[in-house]
Amino acid sequence: MTELHWQKSSFSSEASNCVELATTPDGTIHLRESDDPTTTLTLRPSGLHSLLVAARREITNCP
């Protein structure tokens, strides 16, 4: 397996808990929280797009 090079989200604070992202040459995207690096979410770009659209929709509909 290719070694992943994790990048911290620019929206994360300086605190130790942050979202990190890594990609592989085939375009697969990996997401994790720095406080639990053994658990990752692995998806294709279209899956990330769907996740972000759903998250935005949820945030917009919050009271």
Q: What is the pLDDT of residues 38-52, one digit of tens each?
A: 999 999 999 999 999
Can you tell me the mean pLDDT for 11-27?
81
Q: Rg for the chain (alpha carbons), in Å? A: 13
| Predicted model pTM | 0.75
Residue 18 carries which DSSP code? -
The domain spans of the chain are 7-60
Element (H, E) at 55: helix 45-60
Beta bridge partners of 42: 30
Beta bridge partners of 41: 31
The predicted pLDDT at position 18 comes to 85
